[in-house]
Amino acid sequence: MQEITPTELSKLEQAVIIDVREADEVAVASVPGARHLPMSSFLDHLDEVPREETVYVMCHSGGRSARVTGYLEQQGYDAVNVTGGISEWAASGLPVERPADAG
């Protein structure tokens, strides 16, 4: 399985990031520009995952995203697991949107 750290991912231009956390988790914090496709209904949204681009899959800490990355690889997608997920992303000082704090 291909993997990338959040710091390495943040240096890529126009990366397609898929966040497989559930809605209540995304409501607390998210990576700017990430597409939210929750793991609980991921297969219902598989057609939203681009086949022609590398997709970077993340979750809270890397476990769920590893499972989804493995599935996508089996289906012929170029998928990369983001190690450490949004936890590592935030701990690395990378930008995080916090919609719960808005307003």
Q: Which residue among the candidates 4, 18, 26, 59 is catalytic per the annotation? A: 59
Q: Which residues contact 69 (CB under 8 A, 6 or more apart)?
A: 1, 2, 57, 79, 80, 81
| ∠ CA 83-43-84, rounded to 5° | 10
Our answer to whether residue 79 is catalytic in this structure is no
Active site residues per annotation: 59
